[in-house]
Amino acid sequence: MTDPKIIERAKTWLTDSYDKETREQVSKMLAEDSTELTDAFYKDLEFGTGGLRGIMGPGTNRMNKYTVGKATQGLANYLNMAFAEETQIKVAIAYDCRINNTFFADIVSSVLTANGIKVFLFDALRPTPELSFAIRQLQCHSGIVITASHNPKEYNGYKVYWNDGAQIIAPHDKNIIDEVLKITDVDAVKFNADKTLITMIGEEVDNAYLSKMATYSLSPEVIRANHDMKIVYTPIHGTGVELVPKALKKFGFTNIFSVDAQNVVDGSFPTVKSPNPEEPEALKMAIEKAKEVDASLVMATDPDSDRVGIAIKDKSDDFKLLNGNQTATLLFYYILNKEKEQLKGNEFMVKTIVTTELLKEIADSFNIENFDVLTGFKYIAAIIREFEGRKRFLVGGEESYGYLVGDYVRDKDAVISCAMIAETAAWAQSQNKSLEDLLAEIYVQFGFYKERLLSVVRQGKAGADEIAGWMDNYRNNPLKSINGIPVIAVFDYLNSIKTDMKTGNQTKINLPSSNVMQFLLEDGTKITARPSGTEPKIKYYFSVKGNLEKQEDFEKTEKELDTKLDELVKTFR
């Protein structure tokens, strides 16, 4: 039996404020009195610090015309307050391949223009990083991209950006949420578009984006010598289908193979279980193509093309999937190697606190300043903004397959990442090395780092309470050893305190407060516990370190590290 409060909430959607189709769908749910009704109406779809994301359909907890309309009205209200002195407020809008992509883009455009805001709307699907670029290129005050990233096909969402091209952070995120929460009546949403305020954009922004991107190439001569290196690329039905191949060609690569079935733009993602390049299954067809054409590099981007996963040929002519830390290691090492000839001492790079410490080791070896930030690329963008005009940003990345080269975009960018990863492979090839060889060389020089992610789910409120209890225990009774290895430092990011476990000395962590606990062990192992803010799930990030004396010991050392990771996972499962 459905909660009467939920039924009453659903009945409010039967008024003339809602269109006929919506009323009919809600009436059907009420008649069936199913779990679908409860899921759709038991709460409001939360406008979080980045925007909206949820399952599509009617209901207060769904992505639909009315929840998107309310969110956009709140955003419009805030923009009109924040930029009250501007003659014309401008917002850029992009969308990916998701079902209802143009429908939601039109709703957002309608509400913004009905509030007197000028809209630059892309004429077809585009990568999320190009939206970030367009905001800066067109001097917009904000931007919105319709995307649910790599979520299943039932989902859609949108992310909100500020005038620097980065996702919103404090104070704007909280202020926008406050305005959205004030929209309690759908009749307060202005849906009547002023079409004179909509300007369509397309190829001209593409060309500017690609041209700027190409200026970051560091080895044009190497690419010319290895232009015919065989590359297989798949957009997994998403927005990279046009621009990633164009970017590769712009850099000078001429031998690019596609996966025809996955070049079809389709928000139902018919060839994969999940359009997530972190999942091995998502690259399966691309690897089969690579074997067919004897390629050496496979790359796959997610639906909105802000993350990239790769596979490289190994010594047995099979393909090895790299995790996000390994790809970042290759990319960062290459860029710092090439940039070392023109360093002026004001360069820096950024990584997240859950990303491999190997990147800092590499940065230190080149005397490049490294900044650690909380999980989320908006924090990397915030560091770029902080030092703009004073220091030069080289590269940033996170373990979840997102990277950025240069600062012309202020979000992770799989388009330039694909081009620069290919350039890294060409650089290795010019030295008669594979990417596997290059990675092994890095491990010999700096230490063999290996990482793993564990997600532990506990259902319902009881599950959320259990996870909260774990975090309280980690915080109030910090572990002194893990699997027999002493803990030497504990990082409490909620209270912004680092504790030296040997001396008891505490120092301040200069990062925003976040419910994260991190343990550094005597042998270099790093373990991070990070609960989800939206579901009863906690993520554990494990990183272990070993010595690789010579490349020939790669497989043996890797197995040792994997065994160590297996034991750590058992401890926290």
So which residues are the catalytic ones?
Answer: 149
Rounded Cα distance, 347 and 477, in Å:
40
C-alpha to C-alpha distance for 349 and 341, rounded to whole angstroms: 16
| Widest distance between CA atoms in the chain | 73
> In degrees, to the nearest 5, what angle opens at C-alpha 293 toward C-alphas 315 and 318?
25
Distances in Å between the Cα of 485 and the Cα atoms of 238, 479, 480, 524 are: 45, 10, 9, 10
CA angle 46-516-469, nearest 5°? 85
75 phi, psi to nearest 5 deg: -65, -45
Q: Can you tell me which residue has the tokens 């009881």?
A: 462
From CA 63, how far away is CA 542, in angstroms rounded? 35
Task: Give the burial class of 370: count Cβ atoms within 10 A of its Cβ; 0-12 exposed, 13-18 middle, 19 or more buried.
Answer: middle
Amino acid at 97: C
List strand residue ranges (DSSP E) for 409-523, in order.
448-457, 481-482, 485-492, 497-500, 506-508, 517-521
Bridge partners for 492 per DSSP: 497, 517
304 in Cβ contact with 410 (< 8 Å): no
Question: Which three-class secondary structure string do you get for 73-132?
Answer: HHHHHHHHHHCCCCCCCEEEEEECCCCCHHHHHHHHHHHHHHCCCEEEEECCCCCHHHHH
> What whole-number distance in Å separates Cα of residue 13 and Cα of residue 185?
11
Beta bridge partners of residue 300, listed in sequence order: 234, 309
Where are the strands (E) in 322-417, listed by range?
A: 347-352, 369-373, 392-398, 402-405
Is the distance from CB of 520 to CB of 545 less than 8 angstroms?
A: no
- Residue the block writes with tokens 């009546």: 185
Distance between CA atoms of 42 and 130, rounded to whole angstroms? Answer: 36
The dihedral over CA atoms of 444, 445, 446, 452, expressed in degrees to the nearest 10, equals -30
Encode 381-415: b = buried (16+ Cβ within 10 Å), e = exposed: bbbbbebeeebbbbbbbbbbbbbbbbbbbbbbbbb
First CA to last CA distance, the chain: 35
Short-list 397, 314, 306, 317, CA closest to 349: 397
Whole-angstrom Cα distance, residue 214 to residue 238? 22
